[in-house]
Structure formats: C-alpha cells, structure tokens
Amino acid sequence: MKQTEFISKKLRTAGILIIAGLVVEILSLVWNHPLSFVAFIGIGGLLLAAGILLYLWALVSPGSRSGEGGAKSSGG
C-alpha cells in the first residue's frame, strides 16, 4: 500500500510538471516573438526535464524497488 502511494505521488508530481512544461511549449509555439524560443527551452524544457527525471527516478528509486522486491519474495 505504501509503495503504491509512493509511486502515485511521484507520478502525479511528474505528470503535473510535464503538463506544465508542455503547456509552456504549446504556448511558445503559437507565440511569434523573439522570446518564444527562450520560453520554450528555458521554462518549458526545464519543467519537462524535471518531470521526466522525477518519473524515471520514481521507477528506479529504493521506495519502488523495495516494494517490487517484497512482492517478488512474497510471490516466491
């Protein structure tokens, strides 16, 4: 239960960060302005990278691994 909560929380946060990054990227693509590329990379890219890294971290972090290991050992 604890592991599910851990993953869910991380997925939610990662998802929100990625959505924010994608929204910034969408807005920058429809904004014809010299700053649009800076916004795309500087804000959208950073939010996207943070969200993706958080998601990848959630996949390999000890919290998710211990749960997975526990599930395997209990299954075996």
Partner 1 sequence: MPTAFVLVLLGITVALIAVIVARPEITAGKAGKILAFLALFIFPVFGGVLGAQNHIQRSEETSFCLSCHIMGDYGKSLMVDDPRYIPAAHYQNGRVPRDEACYTCHTDYTLYSGFAKAKLRGLHHVWVQYFGKPEHPIKLYSPYNNRECLHCHLGSRSFEEGAIHTADPQTMADIKSNKLSCVSSGCHDMVHNVSQLDHVKYWKPAQ
Minimum distance between the CB of residue 36 and partner 1, rounded to whole angstroms? Answer: 7
In angstroms, the CA 33 to CA 76 distance is 59
Tracing tokens 């990054």 back to the chain, one arrives at: 21
Minimum distance between the CB of residue 71 and partner 1, rounded to whole angstroms? Answer: 11
Alpha helix stretches (DSSP H) within the chain: 2-30, 36-39, 46-60, 62-75
Between 52 and 61, name the residue whose CB sits nearer to partner 1: 52
For residue 8, state whether it binds partner 1 (rule: CB under 8 A): yes
Which residues in 15-74 contact partner 1 (CB under 8 A)? 15-16, 18-19, 21-23, 25-26, 28-30, 32-38, 40-41, 44-45, 48, 51-52, 55-56
Contacts of 59 (CB under 8 A, 6+ apart): none
